[in-house]
Amino acid sequence: MSSFGTHKRRGRRVTEAAKSFGRLVDRVREERATIVIERGGKAVAQITPLVGASFTFAALKSLVVALPAPTART
């Protein structure tokens, strides 16, 4: 695993990627990871998050947790 900007980048063999494609897409969506697909030890493709689609559920959860507690009205 190596660093690629703020995104995680992992290499996957083509057969492994085909068997777990749904999980790879979930990781790209949820973790903003970049997945590199390899054949014969060489990168042939990559799955990356769309530009501009950077707000994830994890980011929303962090935002909500950081909000101050509501005050009671009288």
> What pLDDT, in 10s, does the model give residues 2-50?
333 334 556 678 888 888 899 999 998 888 889 998 988 899 999 998 8
Cα–Cα distance for residue pair 2/35, rounded to 1 Å: 11
The pTM of this model reads 0.53
User: 9 lies in a domain?
Assistant: yes
pLDDT score of 66: 92
Residue 65 φ then ψ, to 5°: -60, -35
Q: What is the edge-to-edge ordering of all strands in the sheet holding 2-4? A: 2-4, 7-13, 34-39, 42-47
Token pair, residue 54, equals: 């950077």
- Neighbour count for residue 33 (Cβ, 10 Å): 19
pLDDT score of 3: 34
User: 17 lies in a domain?
Assistant: yes
User: 73 lies in a domain?
Assistant: no
> Residue 38 sits in which domain range?
2-66
User: 71 lies in a domain?
Assistant: no
- Structural domains counted in the chain: 1
> What pLDDT, in 10s, does the model give residues 47-69?
998 877 567 788 888 888 998 88
CATH of the domain at 39: 3.40.1620.10
